[in-house]
Chain A
Amino acid sequence: MAKRYWGKTLLVGVLLTVLLLSLARYTTRELPFFSEVKSGLKDLTYPFARAVSFLWGGVSNVTQYFKDINELRREKDRLLQENTALKYQLNRLQEVERENLRLKALLGYSQEHPNYELIVAKIIERDPANWYKSFTVNQGKSSGIKKDMPVLDQNGLVGRMMNVAALNGEVLLITDPRSSVAAVTYQGRVPGIIKGTALSSELIMDNIPLNLEVRTGEKVLTSGQGGVFPAGIPIGYIVSVTKDPSGLVQVAKVRPYVDFDRLEEVFILKGSR
């Protein structure tokens, strides 16, 4: 009896495995039907995600507030009250300076690329799976956002719009293993393909021709090939270079400029390529 049960279970298991793996193979590329389902689900859960994002911001502000108070108390023990007030003011000015630098960098980019418009987008939810790197932002079709639009922050390339719903859109990060970006090194102009590894702090640049020299520390930028990303967006810098196991090409490890774990808002590059 038990033998029959396990036999039946095994048979069902094998059949389901074959069926589900075939379906997974079939949906390697996002099909319009599943894209619509996904957009619908995202729109459905959008109010909740937005509310949590808002609450989270509030909680962060409150915790930050208490941190500041403790900081001020410590300062008060050491310094005069006036000095403490000045330090607080200085902190605020530094914050403004940081913002100023960020906006200047963006302005610079906009001026260099007049065909593009930068749309600010706030991250409202992230993919909970560890093997995929994507997040959802609060800009969608209603703001004119379209699939494959590049996404960046002040430090460099973040990714591209993958799935755009009415009120929100999903960004596929360059660290996602499904992502690939045509890239080139800054000094040597060595071409390669940047691929994600599912790790936030590491990218792979492969398909580097064997006869070309790539140095560690060298900057890597988008090459503009492939038609998705415009040329010249910083991606990261080379950490190490090794020969591919096949022996035909070189592979480099690249550390991205963007701190993906701390991102809170990004900029979508809207405009002609």
Chain B
Amino acid sequence: MSNLKAMLYFLFFYIIAQTVFSRLAVNGVKPDLILILTVILSFLYGPPRGAFFGMQGGLIEDLFTGHFIGLNTLVKMVAGFLAGVLEGKIYPENWWFPGVIVFVLTFVKDFLYVAFLNLLGISITFTEAFGRIMPVEALYNFFLTPVFYFFFYRAVRGNKP
């Protein structure tokens, strides 16, 4: 997959996230489609490209947010790299596995993000973040991932997982 194509996918996912999935919030918590796409692509392409895909996705989020440019870029880059490390170690035919990676990386991503926000003077308490937002988001992401994985696996590998 070319970087331009990946960029367009990220842009599309961001728009879908802010128009459709923001209306489908569970308990006020929305899924992170950019993380899901980052993990899926990284899982299929490995760590260096995974980190780059994460950077692309995070940069789009940052540019739309307008504040703290670089935070999402950094956090998603780390998530992409970590997901990419598993490429070649787990059979990609395991369609449910990216969901597990997304579940775990949601906590990692949110932990890093909240920690960096606190470093930059935006106060969010970890107990509330861990207790009320992250578990719901992780589960939401977990259930959504296979839906997108089927599509991208087929687009990249040419057959069903």
Q: A: which residues have CB within 8 A of B?
A: 9, 13, 16-17, 19-30, 34-35, 37-38, 41-42, 45, 48-49, 52-53, 56, 124-132, 135-136, 163, 177-178, 195, 197-201, 260-261
Contacts and interface: CB of A to CB of B under 8 A. Distances in A.
Interface stretch (B57-65, B93-101, B151-159): B57-65
B87 to A, nearest CB: 15
A42 B66 CA distance: 11
Contact of B32 (A128, A132, A135, A197): A128
A128 B132 contact: no
B28 A127 contact: no
Contact of B22 (A9, A22, A127, A177): A127
Given A45-B15, A56-B23, A38 B63 contact: yes
A41 B63 contact: yes
Interface of B: 14-15, 17-23, 25, 28-30, 32-34, 47, 61, 63-74, 77-78, 81, 110, 113-114, 116-117, 119-125, 128-129, 132-133, 137
A177 B123 contact: yes
B66 A199 contact: no
A199 B132 contact: yes
- Interface-central residue, B34, B67, B117, by most chain A CB under 10 Å: B67
Contact of B120 (A25, A129, A197): A25
A24 B17 contact: no
Those 8 A-B pairs whose CB atoms lie nearest each other, nearest first: A126-B22, A20-B70, A128-B17, A23-B70, A38-B66, A52-B19, A20-B74, A24-B70
Nearest to A49: B19
B117 to A, nearest CB: 7
A16 B74 contact: yes
Nearest to A170: B66
Contacts of A16: 74, 77
Contacts of B78: 13
Contacts of B66: 27, 30, 34-35, 37-38, 163
A219 B72 CA distance: 37
B68 A200 contact: no
Contact of B67 (A28, A199, A200): A28
